[in-house]
């Protein structure tokens, strides 16, 4: 018997259209409920009451991702002004953003994180320019190593060892931004498996991916990928966002029964043409 909550359905935004989506579970659940979570992400809760040795969850989606046009980083407001407004501005947009300035289960702010961020956020520097510089520094100074960390690895250990995976780098950058008083949220999704001709394959393809979204006044949320050192565009497929991984893990739940358990995950993302055929 098991109870599970999944975040495996893409959310629709102004730059992402979800044309078709399905979630198949085997064995067939006794209960399956589609719902939205606190952050507006699509979620599915299901319960399996029969005895079973294997649980298979298959998500299939047809998603259209549009090109984004982020602002000129140099033309965004000074980061100190944004921090001040996040503390006092009661406009709904600012209030919504301010909830992403606080500690969360996997991200606890601190002087050490603020110190690491400081070279990117010199006095008066535009917020997006500073955030992009921090993205580049994490990319240069940290090594992608899938064996270096687990879900339980503390953020401070990642900062000390300078190794980890996309989830670690996203948590690190969010922790740095929040430690300065800025609003940043955790984003989960996928990368295009095969890059366009002439472009390098992005780190994190063929698996779930994670990146960062920072609140930029006058623009809204701008996504940055510290694992690949880029502003997110049409090669990233958005699933969900939240405070950190704990809010949006792909699947979590409770299994009742003995024995040992293991899990395997695979992701395949490919472009299709207008007729629905692989491009």
The confidence score (pLDDT) of residue 204 equals 47
Contacts of 112 (CB under 8 A, 6+ apart): 156, 159
User: Are 213 and 83 members of one domain?
Assistant: yes
Q: Looking at the predicted structure, is the pLDDT value of residue 37 above 70?
A: yes
Confidence of residue 201 (pLDDT cuts 50, 70, 90): low
Residue 276 covered by a domain: no
Residue 239 pLDDT > 90, yes or no?
Answer: yes
Q: Directed axis angle between helix 127-141 and helix 79-88, to 10°?
A: 110
**Residue 265 counted as domain residue:** no
pLDDT of residue 277: 63
**Residue 262 counted as domain residue:** no
pLDDT in tens, 92-131: 999 999 999 999 999 999 999 999 999 999 999 999 999 9
Residues 53-76 pLDDT 10s: 889 999 999 999 999 999 999 999
Lowest mean pLDDT across 13-27, 131-145, 198-212: 198-212
In a shared domain, residues 113 and 189: yes
Contact 132, 117 (CB under 8 A): no
pLDDT at 278: 62
Count the neighbouring beta carbons within 10 Å of the beta carbon of residue 35: 10
90 contact partners, CB below 8 Å, separation of at least 6: none
Q: What is the total count of domains within the chain?
A: 2
Cα 214 to Cα 132: distance, rounded to the nearest angstrom? 10
**132 vs 254 pLDDT, higher one:** 132
Q: Is 159:113 a contact under the CB 8 Å cutoff?
A: yes
In angstroms, the CA 77 to CA 94 distance is 14
Dump strand ranges (E) for 149-183. 163-164
Q: Are residues 13 and 85 both part of a single domain?
A: no
Alpha carbon distance 120, 177 (integer Å): 10
Give yes or no: residues 80 and 61 share one domain: no
Q: How does DSSP assign 190-213, residue by residue?
A: EE-SSPPTTSPPPTTTTS-EEEEE
pLDDT in tens, 136-192: 999 999 999 989 999 889 999 999 999 999 999 999 999 999 999 999 999 999 987
Is the distance from CB of 202 to CB of 192 less than 8 angstroms? yes
166-179 vs 127-141: helix crossing angle, rounded to 10: 140
Whether 151 and 19 map to the same domain: the answer is no
- Beta strand ranges found along 66-183 (DSSP E): 143-144, 163-164
Residues 71-97 have a mean pLDDT of 97
DSSP H or E segment with residue 45: strand 42-48
Report if residue 50 sits inside a domain: yes
* CB contact at 8 A, 236 and 190: yes
Based on the domain organization, do 93 and 174 belong to the same domain?
Answer: yes
223: β partners: 213
* Whether residue 143 sits in one domain with residue 91: yes
Confidence of residue 205 (pLDDT cuts 50, 70, 90): low
| CATH number of the domain enclosing 174 | 3.10.620.30
Query: Residue 19 belongs to what domain range?
Result: 2-66+249-255
33 and 105 housed in the same domain: no
Chain-wide mean pLDDT for the chain?
A: 91
pLDDT at 222: 97
With bands split at pLDDT 50, 70 and 90, how would you rate the model's confidence at 271?
confident
């Amino acid at each position: 018997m098991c109870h599970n909550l999944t975040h495996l359905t893409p959310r629709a935004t102004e730059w992402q259209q979800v044309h078709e989506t399905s979630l198949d579970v085997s064995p067939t659940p006794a209960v399956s409920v589609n719902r939205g979570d606190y952050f507006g992400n699509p979620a599915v809760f299901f319960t399996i009451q029969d005895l079973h040795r294997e649980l298979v969850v298959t998500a299939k989606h047809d998603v259209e991702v549009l090109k984004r046009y982020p602002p000129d980083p140099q033309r965004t407001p000074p980061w100190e002004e944004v921090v001040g407004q996040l503390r006092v501005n009661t406009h709904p947009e600012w209030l919504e953003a301010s909830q992403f300035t606080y500690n969360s289960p996997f991200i606890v702010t601190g002087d050490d994180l603020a110190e690491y961020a400081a070279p990117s956020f010199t006095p008066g520097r535009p917020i997006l320019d500073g955030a992009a510089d921090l993205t580049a520094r994490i990319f240069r100074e940290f090594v992608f190593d899938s064996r270096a960390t687990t879900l339980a690895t503390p953020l401070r250990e990642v900062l000390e060892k300078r190794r980890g995976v996309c989830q670690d780098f996203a948590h690190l950058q969010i922790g740095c931004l929040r430690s300065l008083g800025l609003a940043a949220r955790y984003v989960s999704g996928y990368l295009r498996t095969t890059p366009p001709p002439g472009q390098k394959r992005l780190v994190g393809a063929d698996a779930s991916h994670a990146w960062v979204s920072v609140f930029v006044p006058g623009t809204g949320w701008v996504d940055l990928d510290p694992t690949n050192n880029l502003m997110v565009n049409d090669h990233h497929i958005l699933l969900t966002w939240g405070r950190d991984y704990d809010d949006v893990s792909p699947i979590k739940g409770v299994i009742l029964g003995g024995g040992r358990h293991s899990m395997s995950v695979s992701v395949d993302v490919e472009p299709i043409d207008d007729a629905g055929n692989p491009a």
